[in-house]
Chain A
Amino acid sequence: MNNIYKPYLAKIDMVRQETPDTKTFRLSFMDPETAESFTFKAGQFGEYSSFGDGESTFCIASSPTRKGYIECSFKAVGKVTNALKDKDVGDIIGFRGPYGNSFPIEEMYGKNLLFIGGGIGLAPLRSLIWNCLDLREKFGEITILYGARSVQDLCYKPELTEWAERPDVNFVKTVDPGGETSDWDGKVGFVPTVLKELAPSPEGAVAITCGPPIMIKFVLQNLSELGFDSTQVVTTLENRMKCGLGKCGRCNVGKTYVCIDGPVFTARELEALPVDF
């Protein structure tokens, strides 16, 4: 009998403070066999637990091409994330996963990729971005548009610099009006507005977006205005979840279980769902 609710134990190998309230953990599995056999795909998620506090759902933020560890990024907002925030290198947490579907990476081969991220919504995109950059020759142009409320709310700052410096990446960063500092060298404006200014061509392109619901809403609208068909736009939903296994009934949107059928959906698939997310 297999207990689907039993978590793996994972050790925190590295902690990075991304923003004042957001952290990234690098985790390795305690059980050598699990560490050896564990595989996942970009876009999948897991249930991370602080024992005694409960479980929370985050995506796996690292790339499947980087073996031997997984990473997750989370904002301290609730009971579990506030408990996780206080953990340090060497502490042990629980992990169940990987769950859900993944980004259709094979279908993106040969295409121009447009990543549009907002705030901590960059986490699932980061998994796919590094996955694609590690297989760089398989893709056309890669454009990354990333924004946050303010300069201090930008996640993965060292990696943003790396992307900006790479000749094979077109990187654009922005902060919401009022969130800029005196030495800010990026754009000032909401992500959907900056997207319109950029006016990327929909020809042979796939847009992958994740961010706060309000940003996704306007990004989808603007992509459509730019001529992107809803089958060319991919996003990832993050409904509240508990089991991650299609049982507990929390993430249902119509007949769809976000945890099993998602979290990755094309804009076309979202159009078919009742507006209940």
Chain B
Amino acid sequence: MKIYKLKTGYTELAAALLKKGQNVIAPKFSGRTLLFGKIEKAEDAVEPERYVNTVRSAKEFIFPATEPVVEFSYKNKDVKVFDSLVQSDEKIILGLRPCDAAAFTIIDDVFNYEYKDEFYAEKRKNTTLVSFSCEHSDEACFCSSVGLRPDSPQGSDLLFKKDVHGNYFAYSCSEKGEKLVALLKEIFEETTEDFTESPCYEEVLGHMRPPLDTVRIKEWLDKNFENPLWDEFASRCLGCGSCAFLCPTCHCFDIVDETKYSSGLRRKNWDACQFPLFTLHASGHNPRPLQSKRYRQRVMHKFKYYNDRFNKTLCTGCGRCVRACPVNLDIYQVVSEITKENSLEETLNEQHL
């Protein structure tokens, strides 16, 4: 991993990328809401020190909320199908947080195993992820509970850290990262100064909720598919799906047709396991007819099933689901209850012995 000192500030970095004709996606304000969007002017890119994280994750630029997979036309018995898979443009996602960069390394597994989803893979291949370590956290953040840190390099092509004087240092973590540095060589210089143990990020870490033990969480989940706690957790869940749509690792989708006269599109649209229709069979049978079962599926998929299948936790602790939940259902609290229950069980067992 090479380290480069950035000779300028963030806005100048954005300006340099734009000047080189790069397609830059970065956090910018849409009204009062901070969202990722295409940057036309460098000043629109909000400096990373001014935010904890964006409202929506960067997922939508690689796995869009809606995306045509085929187009078709049908006139009487004449049906034609056209491929909607095209080469994607190169783009740079600038200013994303390490949790969002790590999310892509997690969902890469599901989109690439057995059958390769080129709609995802093509955009992923052509996207460079330039993340900035977190200078603040808020009460929702819990990345330290899922093996990440405010300055984790997982998934980033280039990861920026700051020294105590406010200078930016870029850690290049991939060929794409190197390529980007080479493109902007006039504003970067290679250095041997290393901020891997930067105290600033230890402080952010210290303000975060205490880390949970995912191994213990999984141990409990392995044994408690049936448990009255599920009803308790889900009793106030509205099933609105906000958590899934804001989550950088939720990847469920629907496939639907849209038509106009005698032609149309078949689209992949985001969907969520929190909706009752998600699993409803045409016969009327529904494997998950209650919200408690759907909420259980969400927690199980994140902390057990995905782990069983791909050996990864399907959560980066970004905290978006916590911030957005209209009824303050907090997945961190839910899984910490579980670990408490786990230790209670163990204590009881020990006492019986």
- Residue ranges of A at the interface with B (Cβ–Cβ < 8 Å): 1-7, 9, 49, 51-56, 75, 77-78, 81, 90-92, 94, 212-213, 238-240, 242-243, 245-250, 252-255, 260, 274-277
A213 and B253 contact, CB distance less than 8 A: no
Q: Please indicate the chain B residues that have their CB under 8 angstroms from the CB of A275 in the complex.
A: 225
**How many B residues touch A, CB cutoff 8 Å?**
53
A6 and B77 contact, CB distance less than 8 A: no
B146 to chain A, nearest CB (A): 18
Nearest first, the 10 closest Cβ-Cβ pairs linking A and B are: A249-B252, A255-B308, A5-B69, A92-B79, A3-B85, A77-B282, A52-B259, A245-B115, A255-B309, A255-B305
In the complex, what residue of chain A is closest to B84 when comparing beta carbons?
Answer: A3
A8 to chain B, nearest CB (A): 9
Those of B64-88 within 8 Å (CB) of chain A: 69-70, 72, 74, 77, 79, 81, 83-85, 87
Quick one: given A2-B116, A4-B116, A78-B282, are A51 and B257 in contact (CB under 8 Å)? yes
B256 and A246 contact, CB distance less than 8 A: no
Q: Please indicate the chain B residues that have their CB under 8 angstroms from the CB of A81 in the complex.
A: 282
B297 and A5 contact, CB distance less than 8 A: no
A249 and B282 contact, CB distance less than 8 A: no
B251 and A249 contact, CB distance less than 8 A: yes
In the complex, what residue of chain A is closest to B309 when comparing beta carbons?
Answer: A255
A248 and B254 contact, CB distance less than 8 A: yes
A54 and B255 contact, CB distance less than 8 A: yes
B117 and A247 contact, CB distance less than 8 A: yes
* Most chain A CB neighbours (cut-off 10 Å) among B85, B114, B116, B257: B257
Q: Please indicate the chain A residues that have their CB under 8 angstroms from the CB of B225 in the complex.
A: 274-276
Q: Please indicate the chain A residues that have their CB under 8 angstroms from the CB of B264 in the complex.
A: 51-52
Q: Is B287 an interface residue (CB 8 A)?
A: yes
B255 and A3 contact, CB distance less than 8 A: no
Q: Please indicate the chain B residues that have their CB under 8 angstroms from the CB of A240 in the complex.
A: 278-282
B255 to chain A, nearest CB (A): 5
A239 and B116 contact, CB distance less than 8 A: no
- Bound complex: CA A127 to CA B115 (Å): 25
Q: Please indicate the chain A residues that have their CB under 8 angstroms from the CB of B87 in the complex.
A: 1
A212 and B74 contact, CB distance less than 8 A: no
Partner of A247 from the list B74, B251, B285, B297 (CB cut-off 8 Å) is B251
21 contacts between A and B (CB under 8 A): A1-B122, A2-B118, A3-B118, A5-B69, A5-B255, A6-B81, A9-B79, A9-B81, A51-B81, A52-B259, A92-B74, A92-B79, A240-B278, A246-B113, A246-B114, A247-B110, A249-B252, A249-B271, A274-B225, A275-B225, A276-B287
In the complex, what residue of chain A is closest to B252 when comparing beta carbons?
Answer: A249
Q: Is B96 an interface residue (CB 8 A)?
A: no
In the complex, what residue of chain A is closest to B254 when comparing beta carbons?
Answer: A242
Partner of B268 from the list A5, A250, A276 (CB cut-off 8 Å) is A5
B252 and A250 contact, CB distance less than 8 A: yes
Q: Please indicate the chain B residues that have their CB under 8 angstroms from the CB of A91 in the complex.
A: 77
Quick one: given A240-B279, A246-B113, are A6 and B255 in contact (CB under 8 Å)? no
A92 and B282 contact, CB distance less than 8 A: no
In the complex, what residue of chain A is closest to B121 when comparing beta carbons?
Answer: A1
- Bound complex: CA A52 to CA B85 (Å): 19
Q: Please indicate the chain A residues that have their CB under 8 angstroms from the CB of B79 in the complex.
A: 9, 51, 92
* Most chain B CB neighbours (cut-off 10 Å) among A7, A52, A243, A260: A52
In the complex, what residue of chain B is closest to A2 when comparing beta carbons?
Answer: B118
- Bound complex: CA A140 to CA B34 (Å): 69
Q: Is B233 an interface residue (CB 8 A)?
A: no
A51 and B85 contact, CB distance less than 8 A: no
A254 and B259 contact, CB distance less than 8 A: no
